[in-house]
């Protein structure tokens, strides 16, 4: 994995700290716990497929490239004193063929052992604040499979608004796929 040989300039995006969390750039030692959560059927229930170790490493590389291209990305999520990498939270460009793109999405994925503690909400609030205040974003979106009640609840706790008229069929999922129908939530800078 090429993260081992990162250049110093890759560290210019700040680490974000919350009361309980550290949002930071990815390290080589993050691959093992990240691959484990991407192979957990419960964590990946509303994703098209679980990821292999190689696919997880490739995802980290794409995330790191996103930091360089955009000045923001999906930070590795650390719970200091408890776990070095529990997943990710952050911001990502939406380049799908959907009516609301281009856009910036707030997203998260946590290991199951850390669900139900408000960590996704806490981290997402920090990421959105960074996007609005440091990147001058006007709006952040979030979307998930219509059936994903847990993620929808996080979106509501973030203060995001849902309009059922904006729900959409995910263009990368086949007709008849039970995950194809997605809900869209939005939060504008003024909503902060």
CATH number at residue 148: 3.40.630.30
Whether residue 185 has pLDDT greater than 90: yes
Q: Please report where in the chains the tokens 């999520």 appear, as a residue.
A: 77
Q: Does residue 7 fall inside a structural domain?
A: no
The pLDDT of residue 4: 31
- Rounded to the nearest integer, the mean pLDDT of the chain is 92
- Which residues, including other chains, have CB under 8 Å from residue 175's CB and lie 6 or more apart? none
Q: Indicate the pLDDT class of residue 118, thresholds 50, 70 and 90.
A: very high
Distance CA 88, CA 73 (A): 10
* Angle of the 119-134 helix axis to the 149-157 helix axis, nearest 10: 50
Q: Nearest 5°: phi and psi at 66?
A: -65, -40
Q: Does residue 108 fall inside a structural domain?
A: yes
Q: Does residue 2 fall inside a structural domain?
A: no
pTM value is 0.91
Q: Does residue 168 fall inside a structural domain?
A: yes
Q: Does residue 172 fall inside a structural domain?
A: yes
Q: Calculate the CA dihedral of residues 55, 171, 145, 51 and round it to 10 degrees.
A: -10
> 168 near 182, Cβ under 8 Å?
yes
Q: Does residue 115 fall inside a structural domain?
A: yes
Q: Nearest 5°: phi and psi at 100?
A: -95, 0
> Poorest-confidence range of 7-11, 74-78, 135-139, 171-175?
7-11
Q: Does residue 3 fall inside a structural domain?
A: no
Across 164-190, average pLDDT: 96
Whether residue 192 has pLDDT greater than 90: no
Give me the number of domains the chain comprises. 1
Query: Tens digits of per-residue pLDDT, 68-107?
Result: 999 999 999 999 999 999 999 999 999 999 999 999 999 9
Q: Does residue 146 fall inside a structural domain?
A: yes
Whether residue 9 has pLDDT greater than 80: no
Whether residue 165 has pLDDT greater than 90: yes
Across 124-151, average pLDDT: 97
- Domain of 63? 16-191
Q: Nearest 5°: phi and psi at 37?
A: -70, -30
Q: Indicate the pLDDT class of residue 14, thresholds 50, 70 and 90.
A: confident
Range 102-112 burial, b when 16+ CB lie within 10 A, else e: ebbbbbbbbbe
> 81 near 19, Cβ under 8 Å?
no
């Amino acid at each position: 994995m090429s993260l081992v040989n990162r250049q110093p300039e890759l560290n210019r995006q700040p680490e974000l700290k919350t009361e309980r969390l550290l949002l930071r750039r990815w390290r080589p030692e993050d691959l093992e716990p990240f691959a484990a959560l991407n192979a957990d059927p419960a964590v990946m229930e509303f994703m098209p497929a679980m990821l292999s170790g190689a696919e997880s490493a490739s995802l980290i590389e794409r995330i790191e490239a996103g930091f360089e291209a955009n000045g923001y990305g999906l930070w590795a999520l650390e719970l200091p004193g408890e776990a070095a990498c529990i997943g990710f939270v952050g911001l990502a460009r939406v380049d799908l063929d959907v009516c609301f793109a281009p856009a910036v999405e707030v997203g998260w994925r946590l290991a199951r052992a850390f669900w139900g503690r408000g960590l996704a909400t806490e981290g997402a609030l920090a990421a959105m604040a960074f996007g609005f205040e440091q990147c001058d974003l006007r709006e952040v979106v979030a979307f998930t499979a219509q059936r994903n009640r847990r993620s929808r609840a996080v979106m509501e706790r973030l203060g995001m608004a849902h309009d059922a008229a904006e729900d959409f069929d995910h263009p990368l999922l086949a007709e008849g796929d039970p995950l194809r129908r997605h809900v869209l939530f939005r939060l504008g800078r003024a909503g902060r």
